[in-house]
Amino acid sequence: MNKELNELKTKLYKRCHEIVNERIDHAEQGICYAKDAATDDTKSSAGDKYETTREMMQQEINRNERQLAEANRLKYQLDGVSVALASDIVQLGSLVQTNDGLFFLAIALGTVELSPYSFFVISPVSPFGQTMLGKRVGECLTFNKRSYQILAIV
């Protein structure tokens, strides 16, 4: 089972990179679209309508720039995660199998599907991540009135 988990961990890490890169691409496309829309509108509009459209496009640009900054931050954090290190304790980069799911301590991405499995990709600085850090196989932890037993760490 550990060999299978090691392979899954590598695939999951790659999938996390794909998701973050998709977010970056999406935000960049949104910025370009909003800039183009604002430019196109200036050619055919005048007065209040122009100002309203321009402001809406500026808000869209700002929103996409925030999303781009967040996605770049996630990419930077993910680049700092090593999936090659094996450890007996839960740490950054660990794939943890519990009695109630599979958890990857890397960045805050939420649920990631990698057929046929579902993984919870969580940040080690999240409350649940903090609860897991330092635990060993066989140990139990409680979070939000739910008990988890650690079955494997890769």
Cβ within 8 Å of residue 91, ≥6 positions away: 85, 105, 124, 133, 134
Domain residues of the chain, as ranges? 2-79, 95-153
Residue 79 has phi, psi (to 5 degrees) of -60, -25
pLDDT tens-digit readout, 15-48: 999 999 999 999 999 999 888 887 775 555 555 6
Res 154 pLDDT > 70: yes
Q: What is the model's pTM?
A: 0.85
pLDDT tens-digit readout, 85-103: 878 999 999 999 999 999 9
> What's at 135, amino acid-wise?
K
Contact 27, 71 (CB under 8 A): yes
Percent over 70 (pLDDT), the chain: 93
Contact 23, 110 (CB under 8 A): no
